Amino acid sequence: MATAIEIFKHLPKKNCGDCKFPTCLAFAMQLANNKAKLDDCPHLSEAGRNALASSSAPPIRLIKVGSGKNAVDMGDETELYRHDKRFFHPVAFALRIADDLGEDDLYKRLSYVRSLRFERVGQVLKMDLLELECRSGDADRFAAFVKKVASESELPLVLRTKDAAAMSAAANAIKEKRPLLHGADASNLKEMCVVAKSCACPLTVGADDLNGLADMVEAVRKEGVEDMVLDPRPSSLKELLERCTIIRRSAIRKTFRGLGYPIYLSIPAGRDGMLMASTAVMKYGSLLSFEELPASNALPLMVLRQNIYTDPQVPIQVKPDLYPVNNPGPDAPLLFTTNFSLTFFTVMSDLEKSKVPVWLQVVDTEGLSVLTAYSAGKLTSESVKNALQSTGALERSKKGTLVIPGMVARMAVKLNEATGLQIIVGPKESSGLPKFLRS
């Protein structure tokens, strides 16, 4: 991204305020910080627009693979460190399937990919793509295989072969699904570019060193292909960390367009693969292609991904409401917690475990956990009382008691005064709820 002064040189300097900023210089500063768009200035000349278009383009190009609701977006990242703002497009996971599988094994493999689906804090964690590999060496067989899988699965596809003829047959058979074509390198660059151009699909570009990779990116651009994904081909954990970090730094800090693309990584099976995958989730991988991925590895990797790609400034929240647990009636006790997802799902799971029917009131604390919300003044006797009133909780639970989290025992007196309910202080930790409720 150009500096504010460089951008300012190309602006009309009318200081008219039509961009919602008082001066052109103020607008230039916002543009330099990614807080405004070029289109916000209606007076920009054609020459100025052209000059600024490339400098205001995202440092890492956005690449879309697939079509429709399951399409995967990669790249368009602006940060080196998550805490500076956030990471935007979660690293995608693909499982490889070779075209030499028999029909039964193919269906088993597809069903296995579907089974890698977990729910955590209200979000579904799952696989994102399938990578179809031409292992048979037969272009017709590969194309038929790709067509079959495309009709059986809604997941976007990566097509993997270095044979341009096989790639052309397969890619053209499903080009409306916009697969990612994997396998361009120095040995087949021109032919693969022809295929990518003819079916308007993104292309991975691979090389064993980063200088070679940047040269290839330039060569691919000259062939008229702009949508690329880099394959830096690390052979060890150390190489993976080094290469991914250099690519990201060059793109973000130096705005080096030669490496400003998402990163594809082929992950081997076994323990080394797991170490490489978890490092790539944290350090700049955009698409990980797994040779094998046992469920016992998939779950922790997906949870890690969820943690890294959650906006650190916006806690995950659930809807503030009254939740029935274990089929409660009017005699069931009433409890409350906050709408921070992690707190809610932990409490919910412990309540379900207890098998005791209860009503759970979730109070809106803007996604803060119990103690944090209390300390920040967002969990008060008034906010609890208002929550109980807004959901009609006291008409549903007529027991006349309210069980409160042990962490905020000090709220007991004020809550009793505000609601008129008998306050019972519950356990400090949610894990104590089953024993507490049963006794």
Least Å from the CB of residue 27 to ligand SF4: 4
Helix H or strand E encompassing 386 = helix 381-391
Of 20-28, 57-65, 293-301, 385-393: span binding ligand SF4 (CB under 6 A): 20-28
Six-digit token string for 181: 């074509």
Of 15-23, 93-101, 120-128, 363-371: span binding ligand SF4 (CB under 6 A): 15-23
Helix H or strand E encompassing 414 = helix 412-419
Find out whether 61 and 261 touch, Cβ atoms under 8 Å: yes
Of 26 and 418, which CB lies nearer to ligand SF4 in the complex structure?
A: 26
Nearest to 416 by CA among 395, 401, 435, 430: 401
Backbone phi, then psi, for 423, in 5-degree steps? -100, 130
Of 7, 10, 27, 127, the one binding ligand SF4 by CB under 6 A: 27
- 3-class SS at 424? strand
What is the per-residue burial (b if ≥16 Cβ within 10 Å, else e) of 99-111?
Answer: bebeeeebeebbe
Q: Is there binding between residue 15 and ligand SF4 (CB under 6 A)?
A: yes
Backbone phi, then psi, for 127, in 5-degree steps? -75, 155
Least Å from the CB of residue 76 to ligand SF4: 24
Find out whether 240 and 266 touch, Cβ atoms under 8 Å: no
Least Å from the CB of residue 85 to ligand SF4: 24
Of 18, 176, 226, 292, the one binding ligand SF4 by CB under 6 A: 18
Of 2, 7, 24, 362, the one binding ligand SF4 by CB under 6 A: 24
Residue 102 CA to residue 113 CA, distance in Å, equals: 17
Q: Is there binding between residue 408 and ligand SF4 (CB under 6 A)?
A: no
Least Å from the CB of residue 5 to ligand SF4: 14
Of 14-22, 178-186, 207-215, 400-408: span binding ligand SF4 (CB under 6 A): 14-22
Of 43 and 398, which CB lies nearer to ligand SF4 in the complex structure?
A: 43
Least Å from the CB of residue 11 to ligand SF4: 5
Q: Is there binding between residue 392 and ligand SF4 (CB under 6 A)?
A: no
Six-digit token string for 376: 């920040």
Q: Is there binding between residue 11 and ligand SF4 (CB under 6 A)?
A: yes
Of 19-27, 87-95, 218-226, 375-383: span binding ligand SF4 (CB under 6 A): 19-27
Question: Which residue is it, tokens 């368009």?
Answer: 76
Q: Is there binding between residue 16 and ligand SF4 (CB under 6 A)?
A: yes
Find out whether 381 and 414 touch, Cβ atoms under 8 Å: yes
Of 12 and 406, which CB lies nearer to ligand SF4 in the complex structure?
A: 12
Beta bridge partners of 72: 65
Beta bridge partners of 160: 133, 182
Q: Is there binding between residue 14 and ligand SF4 (CB under 6 A)?
A: yes
Nearest to 334 by CA among 381, 374, 392, 379: 392
The one-character DSSP state at 327 is S
Beta bridge partners of 159: 132, 181
Of 5, 9, 17, 186, the one binding ligand SF4 by CB under 6 A: 17
Of 15 and 386, which CB lies nearer to ligand SF4 in the complex structure?
A: 15
Question: Which residue is it, tokens 């890294």?
Answer: 308
Of 17-25, 106-114, 187-195, 363-371: span binding ligand SF4 (CB under 6 A): 17-25
Question: Please, how many CA atoms are within 13 Å of residue 202, restricted to the half-sphere of its CB?
Answer: 29
Least Å from the CB of residue 8 to ligand SF4: 9
Find out whether 99 and 133 touch, Cβ atoms under 8 Å: yes
Q: Is there binding between residue 43 and ligand SF4 (CB under 6 A)?
A: yes
Of 18 and 209, which CB lies nearer to ligand SF4 in the complex structure?
A: 18
Q: Is there binding between residue 9 and ligand SF4 (CB under 6 A)?
A: no
Residues in the site for ligand SF4, rule: CB under 6 A? Answer: 11-12, 14-19, 21, 23-24, 27, 41, 43
